[in-house]
Amino acid sequence: MTATKTFHSWGKLRPATAKLLAPAWIPNDLPGTGPFLAYGLGRSYGDSCLLDGGTMIETRFLDRIQHFDPQTGILRAESGITLAAILRFCVPKGWFLPTTPGTSQITLGGAIANDVHGKNHHSAGCFGNHVRMLDLLRSDGSRHTLRPGDPMLAATIGGLGLTGLITSAEIQLVPIRSAHLDVELTRFCGLDEFMEISASSSETWEHTVAWIDCVASGNSLGRGIFIRGKWSDRGDLSTHRTARLTAPFEMPGFTLNRFTVQAFNTLYYRRFLGKTKTLHQHYAPFFYPLDGVNEWNRIYGKPGFYQYQCVTPTAAGTEPMKQILTKIAASGQASFLAVLKTFGDVPSPGMLSFPQPGITLALDFPQRDPATRDLFLQLDEIVRACHGRLYPAKDARMNARDFSQTYPQLESFKSFLDTKFSSDFWKRMTSATTPS
């Protein structure tokens, strides 16, 4: 009898019950009739990592390093290995990931399937820019070794797991002399000042990001802290520690509201004296501040939470983002975590990759429908009007029309689909009755 299991995404909005397939070794084929979907650690926020009623292929046992060249930094590993495990292996040897999202608790296969990006997109592009090769198992039993230039690779990078099962991959790491970074924090007030600091940082600071106060309004609208870092020559090559804290239970919904978030944001904005502060910081708190607390998604309570991440193009200037921040501040919806950064013009290799040159904003909102979804519809209108787009890996309610209109290579991508792979996200995007 095939076991079944309930799966969750990180937003914990809607679970999925599916058959479980958890191979200990790279399989020669996929048993059963499907539909199938690979599942790593479930850190996608919406439903792109879920397949209710299908067969979920857990990759957590496919976690072996297959080859590493300490001279070139080329690493080959199975797709279920986590970025955290790769770092524990490579950092003491003087190597680091070429780019990394805000958590190390994702798998190599998930990083490729979502073509994740980090704080250095302006110089390094996306994760997929550094994939030298990957092996793909299709539902018909065929195996494919894909390299740059292969259109099947372009479909698989950022392809949301819909072209087959990524079984292993080879990536190019980058050299480091220390596990620490020289970091500078600078207060800014308003998007225009944010853009000025960002432009002046792009050539001399490898990693840039900003925390932004999405509750502030009036003269304080768009205030935040700009964070920039570059690898230091000082310090050892120590790796990160396993998180020692765990969110003990799901917080009551009333604890995250406009007033508690406003109080926190004010204190955080004034966390240091003066306009600028410098730090010598280990990579763990710089890249992965939330990894220090296990199951931090519990703070949003039992109903779960949405993450809304959009990008507004460079050609549109700062006005659309100002409109977005104004709408959020006026709504009374409290975003506890809000991250602002710029994307550079390094093209992504994936057909469905999210980044494009411009400004990207990522926000977490407790699920308080219908008010939360009503706010998102207003934000959608602004993003749509400036020809921006939303991030499928974070999405739980995107309009199918917006998806098709903002990802121009979607029709080309469809020709590379494995017809026995699907997801709840893909079902939403291909349903004639998809809700807005």
CA atoms lying within 13 Å on the CB side of residue 99: 25
pLDDT of 248 reads 57
**What is the rounded CA–CA span in Å between residue 188 and residue 378?**
26
How far apart CA 1 and CA 4 sit, in angstroms, is: 9
Residue 434 has pLDDT above 60, yes or no: no
Which pLDDT value is given to residue 219? Answer: 86
When pLDDT is cut at 50, 70 and 90, the band that residue 435 belongs to is very low
Q: Is the pTM of this model over 0.85?
A: yes
Query: Residues 157-174: pLDDT tens digits?
Result: 999 999 999 999 999 999
pLDDT tens, residue by residue, 130-144: 999 999 999 999 999
Q: Is the peptide bond before 35 cis (omega within 30 degrees of 0)?
A: yes
pLDDT given at position 244 = 66
Q: Which CATH number fits the domain 65-176, given the four candidates 3.30.70.20, 3.30.465.10, 3.30.540.10, 3.40.50.300?
A: 3.30.465.10
Distance CA 216, CA 265 (A): 9
65-176 against 180-406: fold identical: no
Residue located via tokens 């925390």: 211
- Can you say whether the dihedral through the CA atoms of 69, 73, 76, 77 is positive or negative? positive
CATH of 180-406, one of 3.30.70.2520, 3.40.50.800, 3.90.340.10, 3.40.50.720: 3.30.70.2520
Q: Where are the domains of the chain?
A: 65-176, 180-406
> 345 with 126: CB under 8 angstroms?
no
Q: 275 pLDDT exceeds 50?
A: yes
278 vs 262: CA distance, rounded Å: 25
pLDDT at 1: 47
**Taking residues 31-52, what's their average pLDDT?**
95
